[in-house]
Amino acid sequence: MLDLKSLQNHFQDFLLDQNNLIENHVVATNEVSAQERLAIYYEAYYARLIDIVMEDFPVLVALMGEEKFYHWSRQFIATHPSIYRSARWFGKTFPSFLEAISSEWCAMAQFEWLLTEAFDASNAPYLSLEAIMAIKPEEWPRLVFTCHPSLRYISLQWNVVQVWKNHQCKKKINLKKLSRPQHFIIWRKELAIQFHRLTRVEKFLLDAMQQEISFSTICESLSTQMPTEQVINKIGLLLKNFIVQGLISNITII
C-alpha cells in the first residue's frame, strides 16, 4: 500500500506525463473502469487550465476563434506544465509560447497579460502634488523618483491597442503591422487599469526614473536633446502629469 505522498506524486505524474503507475491504485466498479475514472480527472484538469488561459486572453480568443485557441492552449499546457501553486499565474509564459507561431498573436497576448499583471501588482501610495511642491529648491538636484509598482512597459509592432479598444466597443478590426514601433505604459490607478502611448521624452523620463537616476542628471541628459531653457518647463509639465495619473509613488533625496 502506497503512502499518501506517493499516491499524490503518481497522480500528478499521470496528469502531467500520462504515467500510468497510478492505475493499480484506482478502484474500478462494474460501471466505470480505472482508466475511465482517471480519464475524467485528466480531461477535467486540461479543461480547467484551458478555461484559465481563455479568461486571461479574451481578445486573443476572439481574434483566433475558440477552436484554434483551444488547439494552441492545449499544446501549451502539454509543453509547459504549471509550476505555480496558484493557477492565476499559469498563463504567464503563453505569450512567449505563441512567439514561434504568430508574432501578432504573441503581441496581443503580451498586452493582455500585462493588463492582468498591472491589476494584480502590489499596492503602493500615490505621490501627491502637495508633496512635490513641498520640496525645497536646493533639494531638487538630488531628487530620485519611485514609480508605482504596477507600471509596465510594452513596445508594439502591431496595432494591438486599437484592436483591443475596438473589441471593448464590440467593433472588430484586424491586426495590422505598424510602420514603426509604438511604446506604451500600463498601470493601475486605484482599481482601474490605465494605458498610455508614450512620446519620446516621456519614455526617456520614465526610463530614467525606473533606473533611479537623479533629477539633476535627468535634466543634464535632456539638455542634449532640446534647448536648455525648455528642459525645466518640459520636465515640470511631465512630472505633474505623471503624478496626476498615479505613475509615481514616492520620492527620496540622495
Which of the two residues, 11 and 77, has the higher pLDDT score? 77
- Examine the pLDDT at 6 and tell me if it is beyond 80: no
Nearest to 164 by CA among 189, 195, 130: 195
Per residue in 49-83, pLDDT (tens digit) is 899 999 999 999 999 999 999 999 999 998 888 88
Separation between Cα atoms, residue 181 and residue 99, nearest integer Å: 17
Which position has the grid cell 484559465? Answer: 52
Do residue 93 and residue 109 come from a single domain? no
Do residue 86 and residue 115 come from a single domain? no
Query: For the chain, what is the domain count?
Result: 2
Do residue 137 and residue 203 come from a single domain? yes
Do residue 112 and residue 204 come from a single domain? yes
3-state secondary structure string, the chain? CCCHHHHHHHHHHHHHHCCHHHHHHCCCCCCCCHHHHHHHHHHHHHHHHHHHHHHHCHHHHHHHCHHHHHHHHHHHHHHCCCCCCCHHHHHHHHHHHHCCCCHHHHHHHHHHHHHHHHHHCCCCCCCCHHHHHCCCHHHHHHEEEEECCCCEEEEEEECHHHHHHHHHCCCCCCCCEEEEEEEEEEEEECCEEEEEECCHHHHHHHHHHHCCCCHHHHHHHHCCCCCHHHHHHHHHHHHHHHHHHCCEEEEEEC
Per residue in 161-170, pLDDT (tens digit) is 999 999 998 8
pLDDT confidence of 13, banded at 50, 70, 90? low
Picking from 101, 130, 145, the residue at the C-terminal end of a domain is 101
- Examine the pLDDT at 15 and tell me if it is beyond 90: no
pLDDT for position 242: 97
Residues 6 or more apart whose CB falls under 8 angstroms from that of 71 comprise: none
CA angle 158, 160, 165 (to 5 degrees): 150
Average pLDDT of the residues of the chain: 89
What is the model's pTM? 0.86
CATH number, domain with residue 147: 3.90.930.50
Do residue 155 and residue 189 come from a single domain? yes
Per residue in 133-152, pLDDT (tens digit) is 999 999 999 999 999 999 99
Do residue 235 and residue 111 come from a single domain? yes
Do residue 139 and residue 193 come from a single domain? yes
Q: Percentage of residues in the chain with pLDDT exceeding 70?
A: 90
Domain that holds residue 172: 105-254
Do residue 1 and residue 119 come from a single domain? no
- Examine the pLDDT at 229 and tell me if it is beyond 90: no
